[in-house]
Amino acid sequence: MIDWARMFKYSAIALVVLLFVILGGWYIYLKKETSTIERVDEGRGAGVEEPSPASTLGSTFSNIVSGFRNTETPVNTPTGMEIDQSGGFKSFIARLTGSRTNGISSFSGTVKNAFGELVSDILPERTPPERPKPPRLWHAHGTAIAGAAFVASTTNLRFMERATGHLFDVDVETGEVKRISNTLVPKAYGASFAPDGSVIAWTDVNGSPEVFSGTLATSSSTSSPSSLQTTDLGPGITAIVPNVSTKQFLSIVEDGNSFALMSSGWKGEDPVRVAATALRDWHIFWGERIVLSQAPATGIDGYAYEVSLNGIFTPLVRAVPGLTVLPHPRESALLISSDNGSLNLSVSTSSAMRVGLSVRTIADKCVWVPDKSLIAYCAVPESLSSSRFLDEWYAGALHTEDAWWKVDAKAGSAELLFSPHSDMGVSLDVTAPAIDDGGAYLSFINARDQSLWILRIQN
């Protein structure tokens, strides 16, 4: 008689065993496939950071070599075998034929170290190339700026962007441009700077002009922009200029029916009334002395005065049509230009002597070298087509194509320095020129688009 109960029991056991075998086989198959997929992904670079090229050889080469160099597997040298420590193929062969006692892993480490040294011998590790120097004339900032000046005793040129009011530093030797402020000051249409780089700016907020002084906040980080701490200097200011040596400024302030010449600290503190005048429109210069000149117009007689700290006006230039002047920041020399239908430029080194120069330009396109050499650099229009140059140029209705000339006030001479149009095919209308303390670099704004340019004086 068939024992069905026993047969069912053995059949169930066999079925369970078969299921375990099938599941075990499936597990092994899945593990094998997963391992294969991981190897394929690893070969494709999955999970590995994208390398950044660090040299002219490319990132792949650098990463392979660095992988070899970073493998620190000890190499056992058989007794009596000397390895050439100077590297090269001797070292390579010796390391490949070294001890086998550590098995495959030791051999793998030996190959890696050997290849690392071999590659170092054949192709030494290279450092990134230095930033090339900028060309002699270069476009430092393509969008409109409000103003620029060199920070004292540095090669940094600081400027304010017109649209945002952000401050930037340009290293004129390397060409590096870095934003240093993060405070938004929209519609900054004018800016001037103290020797340390602090700024005075004019803004137009909802059609209402405002004048403020600004200083960068102290930051523990030198790599990130700082906030610009500003102080409103109040209403009624018609002209303002910083001192060339100290952190002070002079301003013309509306005062009832007259205008006061005021000196103040950088935040408007300690105001001192220097003088009073019935005229509104003045150009102010404050170096070793205070000089005021009337706002110029073609064919209209203009006057320039030295103003003492006790308010006495001493005439420097009288009744010159279309007068513009540029006092030397530390000496008594004075550049004088006139516009009476044609431009003329002269230089005065004393109150009694004025020498005419061969170039025809205005003092607004000139800048003095800040030493005792009495050298100035002037942008000179290569051609003049208008008999009302000042009126049209100030209104933006006329633009020039300027070349740079070197003016020697002692010798009363001028010589061509650089012509952007002839030398580089660039037409530039120079305004707001500045020069560094060492007299090596000129900066200026192109009046055509208010962008910033820099010229290295020596070729």
Q: What is the reported pLDDT for 423?
A: 92
Alpha carbon of residue 26 to chain centroid: 65
pLDDT at residue 3 in the model = 72
User: For residue 77, what pLDDT is reported?
Assistant: 39
Query: Which pLDDT score is estimated for 25?
Result: 79
Instruction: For residue 317, count CB atoms less than 10 angstroms from its CB and return exposed for 0-12, middle for 13-18, buried for 19 or more.
Output: buried
List the domain boundaries for the chain: 1-41, 59-122
**pLDDT of the chain, 459 residues: tens digit per residue:** 567 677 777 788 888 888 887 887 777 877 776 666 665 455 444 454 444 444 444 444 444 444 444 444 343 433 333 334 444 434 433 443 444 444 444 444 544 454 455 445 555 556 656 678 899 999 999 999 999 999 998 889 999 999 999 999 999 999 999 999 999 998 999 999 999 999 999 998 777 789 999 999 987 566 789 999 999 999 999 999 999 999 999 999 998 889 999 999 999 999 999 999 998 899 999 999 999 999 999 999 999 999 999 999 999 999 999 999 999 999 999 999 999 999 999 999 876 678 999 999 999 999 999 998 899 999 999 999 899 999 999 999 999 999 999 999 999 999 999 999 999 999 999 999 999 999 999 999 999 999 999 999 998
Residues ≥6 apart with Cβ < 8 Å to 165: 146, 181, 183, 184, 185, 186, 187, 188, 201, 203, 228
- Which residue, 199, 190, 196, is CA-closest to 231? 199
pLDDT of amino acid 119? 43
Between CA 248 and CA 246 the distance in angstroms is: 6
The secondary structure of residue 324, as a DSSP letter, is E
In angstroms, the CA 194 to CA 150 distance is 9
**Cα distances (angstroms) measured from residue 247 to each of 227, 269, 309, 317, 318:** 19, 12, 17, 29, 31
Cα–Cα distance between 382 and 348 in angstroms, integer? 24
Q: What is the pLDDT of residue 221?
A: 61
pTM over 0.75: no
3-state secondary structure of 326: strand
Question: Which DSSP symbol is given to 131?
Answer: P
* Angle separating helix axes 103-122 and 89-96, nearest 10 degrees: 180
